Structure 1
Amino acid sequence: MMKECNNLCDVKSCFLCSRVIADWLPAVAQKKRNFQLKKGDQLFMETETVSGIFFVFSGTIKVHKKWDNEKELIIRFAKPGDVIGHLGLGKNPTYPVSATALEQANVCFIDLEFFRSSLTVNPGLTYQMMDFFASELQESHERMRNLAHMPVKARIATALLSLRSQFGTDASGAIDLDISRQDIASYSGTTYETLFKVFTEFTKAGKLSANGKRINVLDTSFLQLVVTDDNRKT
């Protein structure tokens, strides 16, 4: 269970603080609430009433949604500086997704009333939010198209390339994120069993290697070819 903590946020690096005018920062410091999450803690659940917006200060949080008889589809991964919970700003005051910590994480919470005031006072923030919404909508449309039309091997290859692009690599060359096979399957829009078969095939062919929850892409060109070839077939 997440716990409230004081002074975890530096009031300058999150999505909100980095985009408001300097005179507004004291108000943010007064209104914000900080929470610390352990791995597996939920920030909020799908269908829960929206209370405010969260900004990630440290750690990684997966944003996910129920899909096909209680299966899970991971929509995206939120990293330091990202905003979560904005999808609850629409007419329906409930979160359409859930958010769960993949590792220890610290977040900053702003209630809806103060966030709306921040948008009114800070036109730069409002513009950046519009740009953020537009970009996320484009990415969402692309992901839905991929899930509907892209073969499973291509979806898995796309997911691995996306994870490496988002998180970079560690000293060993592995994707710099401890992520379970189930979460990779959920991000690829497939089952654990199917992911296991494809991983085994790619590993035996020398295209991937794994050490615990760290995945090393050994042949980037191969994964890119899987994506482009399967796209041509659809």
Structure 2
Amino acid sequence: MKKGKIECNPDNCFLTKNCLKEWLPSVLQHKKTFKVKKGETIFKEGDQVTGVFFVNAGNVKIHKRWDADKELIVRFAKEGSILGHRGLGDVAVYPVSATALENGIVCYIDMEFFEATLKVNSDFTYKLLRFFAEELRESEKKMRNLAHMPVKGRVAEALITLKNQFGLTNSGFLNIDLSRQDLASFAGATYETVFRVINELVHDKLVALSGKSISIANYDNLLKLTVQGA
């Protein structure tokens, strides 16, 4: 990551939006801001925890090793999101990795200052607790889907989740630049299987393609795949 004189937008930060305004000078004094390039690792699974990151610009994938040559994308983070919080606790290693999906900006604060922030800023701590609860709910849902939902339903669920999180472009396509391999890792399937399923969804007129971009052509019927597990 490249450190330097980088301006970041405090309105795009989970920390600065939720901490006391009296605490902001301390945040500005302690935070470090980095430019990240597409494909660059922000932190790696198994690395020792040193601090917490906040996405100021760009999109990031959070992923775990699945086996020797596969990964499972746990979630995606966009501007305003927190990264590295899973490193909190007695086992001081990151249980996941974070990789930039595009060029962006991340801010970093060390763990000592982050823990001080939690003690001083009750509203920030409350918002973080709610975020943890929602993330746990989504993780449990994802594990249940991996165990019980057919792959077509998981791909449909992944596409709907991406639409809800990132929205659509002016042309109606999912507003995130995502490779088919990353989509497969998010759905918990192989690249070949997702390629086949996407073609089936196109044939059924549930989604449409333009190069690498995907649009949802029939939201209601795509949603039915996640409910029925068809």
- Scaled by the length of structure 2, the TM-score of the pair is 0.97
Give me the CA root mean square deviation: 1.2
Deviates more, 1:7-16 or 1:201-210: 7-16
Taking the TM superposition and a 5 Å limit, the aligned residue runs for 1:15-164 are: 15-164=14-163
Q: Alpha carbons of 1:211 and 1:5: their partners in 2 closer, same or farther (altered >3 Å)?
A: farther
Cα separation, 2, equivalents of 1:207 and 1:120 = 48
Cα separation, 1, equivalents of 2:89 and 2:214 = 37
Which residue does the alignment assign to 1:170? 169
Deviates more, 1:200-209 or 1:60-69: 200-209
Amino acid at match of 2:34: F
Cα separation, 1, equivalents of 2:119 and 2:209 = 48
Amino acid at match of 1:30: Q
SS in 2 for 1:175: coil
Q: Alpha-carbon deviation of 1:7?
A: 3.6
Which residue does the alignment assign to 2:207? 208
- Scaled by the length of structure 1, the TM-score of the pair is 0.95
SS in 2 for 1:93: coil
Q: Alpha-carbon deviation of 1:64?
A: 0.4
SS in 1 for 2:42: strand
- Check whether the contact 2:6–2:34 (CA below 8 A) recurs between aligned residues: no
Q: Alpha-carbon deviation of 1:12?
A: 4.2
Cα separation, 2, equivalents of 1:12 and 1:20 = 12
The unaligned stretches of length 5 or more in structure 1 are none
- Check whether the contact 1:159–1:187 (CA below 8 A) recurs between aligned residues: yes
SS in 1 for 2:7: coil
Matched, 1:230 2:226: no
SS in 2 for 1:34: strand
The unaligned stretches of length 5 or more in structure 2 are none
Q: What per-residue deviation string (whole Å, max 9, x for no partner) do you get for residues 13-53 of structure 1?
A: 31111111111100111100001111101101100111100
Which residue does the alignment assign to 1:13? 12
How many residues get paired?
A: 230
Q: Alpha-carbon deviation of 1:128?
A: 1.3
Q: Alpha carbons of 1:208 and 1:13: their partners in 2 closer, same or farther (altered >3 Å)?
A: closer
Cα separation, 2, equivalents of 1:203 and 1:12 = 39
Cα separation, 2, equivalents of 1:178 and 1:94 = 29
